[in-house]
């Protein structure tokens, strides 16, 4: 097992020097270097040129799935650049997660070595810089405790390069190589160029496998972040908040009610119809026997005669109507633009001017077939019956108030704008446009 002292550059160079001196003492006439020493001072390093980059790009593009593409790219980098193991990971969602290993050697989640690789990736991502172990004394010092732990565990030299696109880090690539050949600064710089060229392609493959709502959320976040960070951040925030509010109002349904003036009227019973053309000779002051008998069954409080005595009454004309003050009908004046939404058996609530604290329930009974006109407005009368448990002892004929008929669920923006849109469409039609 190698420790930090074993992998340190001074220790390696001292070891090379000692072996050279020992060889010289053994054979003073010729300089013979041991094979392991020649491996340590080997200078034949792989070079990254345009052809190598194109080959790596072709390897990445030939794979359809993201995990397969990441593993293929890691394997190709390991083979062409002489690394023992290459690991590629992406941030998902708040820390790195290894997506592909070289040579298909996928370590199962939970193994200590896999956790060490993830920790090394997070160490480089958090510092937004390339981190290596052993580090170059000529470079800016970085925290590499996780890399040192991975080196002790695997016995390799370690370097991690963050993967970036559009100024954002989305993953990392960890390179491992044995002590036979060190990872030089030039190699790390070349691998950084490879990561810059191939990282965006890898990111596109990862985004392509995401569900549509995740891609939409990312598009919104990518659009809002630069606008909120600009000089006009306040104005942009107001515009974005207004847009979000309009979208919410357009999509969120709420209860839609039709509000209309209403009044209480005494309930009228069916009229008495004249079957023949004849004159009314007299009107008795008291109800006749048949009327008194029917009173015990129908319980009305008064009679309204619709014809005068000694006048000719046409056939099928109404002679009288009985009314009562013990039951009430609710007459609602609904605007002609809203009457199409009203249907029998719909329910609603009534608030009277004289009894604002009493909410009375009602049910729509029928809709009059003809419209009335008042103050230049056209409306239809809707007849409704009050609920049985309404405060009948507090009600009187002629009381007025506001009735709300429950229609159903509608978007709030539609509730606020449908009258205006209807008027505009009517004006456009009148102008012949």
Structure tokens at 48: 């990254």
**CA-to-CA distance for 385 and 264, rounded, in angstroms?**
10
- Which has the higher per-residue pLDDT, 423 or 311? 423
- For tokens 């009187």, the residue is 396
- Do 403 and 260 meet the contact criterion of CB atoms below 8 Å apart? yes
- What does pTM read for this prediction? 0.46
Alpha helix positions (H), 62-172: 66-80, 112-127, 145-154
State which of 96-105, 186-195, 344-353 shows the largest mean pLDDT.
344-353
Spatial strand order of the sheet with 131-133 comes to 96-101, 85-91, 168-177, 157-165, 131-133
**CA-to-CA distance for 247 and 258, rounded, in angstroms?**
24
pLDDT at 369: 86
At 20, the pLDDT band (50, 70, 90 cuts) reads: very low
Dihedral pair phi/psi, residue 176, rounded to 5°: -130, 135
At 91, the pLDDT band (50, 70, 90 cuts) reads: confident
For 205, other C-beta atoms within 10 Å of its C-beta total 20
- Which has the higher per-residue pLDDT, 38 or 401? 401
**CA-to-CA distance for 113 and 316, rounded, in angstroms?**
102
**CA-to-CA distance for 349 and 360, rounded, in angstroms?**
6
The answer to whether the Cα torsion of 124, 129, 130, 133 is positive or negative is negative
At 93, the pLDDT band (50, 70, 90 cuts) reads: low
CA distances from 165 to 47, 62, 204, 229, 346 (A): 25, 21, 10, 18, 59
Q: Given a cut of 90, is residue 273 above it in pLDDT?
A: no
State which of 99-103, 157-161, 306-310, 319-323 shows the largest mean pLDDT.
157-161
**CA-to-CA distance for 20 and 99, rounded, in angstroms?**
44
Q: Given a cut of 80, is residue 298 above it in pLDDT?
A: no
Structure tokens at 366: 């029928």
State which of 159-163, 216-220, 244-248, 411-415 shows the largest mean pLDDT.
159-163
At 313, the pLDDT band (50, 70, 90 cuts) reads: low
Question: What are the counts of helices (DSSP H) followed by strands (DSSP E) for the chain?
Answer: 12, 15
């Amino acid at each position: 097992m190698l420790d930090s002292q074993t992998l340190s550059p001074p220790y390696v160079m001292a070891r090379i020097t000692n072996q050279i001196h020992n060889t010289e003492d053994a054979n003073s006439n010729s300089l013979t270097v041991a094979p392991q020493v020649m491996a340590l001072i080997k200078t034949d390093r792989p070079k990254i040129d345009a052809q190598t980059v194109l080959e790596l790009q072709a390897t990445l593009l030939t794979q359809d799935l993201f995990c397969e593409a990441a593993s293929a790219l890691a394997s190709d980098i390991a083979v062409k650049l002489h690394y023992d193991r290459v690991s590629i990971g992406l941030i998902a969602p708040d820390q790195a997660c290894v997506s592909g290993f070289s040579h298909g050697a996928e370590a199962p989640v939970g193994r200590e070595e896999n956790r060490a690789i993830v920790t090394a990736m997070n160490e480089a991502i958090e510092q937004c810089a390339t981190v290596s172990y052993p580090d170059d004394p000529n470079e800016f010092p970085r925290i590499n405790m996780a890399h040192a732990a991975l080196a002790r565990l695997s016995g390799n030299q370690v370097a991690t390069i963050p993967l970036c696109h559009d100024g954002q880090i989305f993953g990392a690539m960890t390179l491992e190589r044995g002590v036979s050949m060190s990872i030089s600064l030039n190699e790390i710089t070349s691998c950084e160029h490879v990561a810059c060229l191939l990282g965006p392609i890898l990111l596109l493959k990862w985004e392509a496998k995401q569900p549509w709502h995740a891609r939409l959320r990312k598009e919104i976040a990518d659009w809002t972040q630069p606008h909120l960070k600009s000089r006009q951040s306040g104005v942009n925030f107001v515009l974005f908040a207004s847009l979000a509010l309009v979208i919410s109002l357009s999509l969120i349904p709420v209860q839609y009610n039709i509000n209309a003036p209403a009044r209480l009227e005494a309930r009228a019973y069916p009229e008495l119809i004249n079957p023949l053309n004849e004159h009314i000779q007299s009107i008795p002051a008291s109800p006749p026997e048949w009327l008194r008998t029917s009173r015990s069954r129908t319980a009305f409080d008064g009679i309204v005669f619709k014809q005068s005595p000694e006048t000719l009454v046409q056939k099928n004309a109404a002679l009288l109507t009985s009314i009562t003050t013990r039951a009430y009908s609710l007459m609602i004046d609904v605007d002609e633009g809203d009457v199409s939404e009203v249907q029998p058996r719909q329910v609603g609530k009534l608030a009277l001017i004289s009894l604002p604290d009493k909410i009375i329930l009602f049910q729509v009974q029928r809709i009059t077939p003809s419209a009335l006109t008042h103050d230049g407005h056209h409306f239809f009368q809707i007849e409704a019956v009050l609920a049985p448990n309404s405060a009948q002892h507090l009600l009187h004929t002629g009381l007025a108030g506001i009735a709300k008929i429950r229609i159903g669920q509608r978007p709030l923006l539609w509730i606020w704008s449908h009258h205006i849109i209807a008027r505009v469409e009517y004006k456009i039609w009148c102008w012949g446009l």
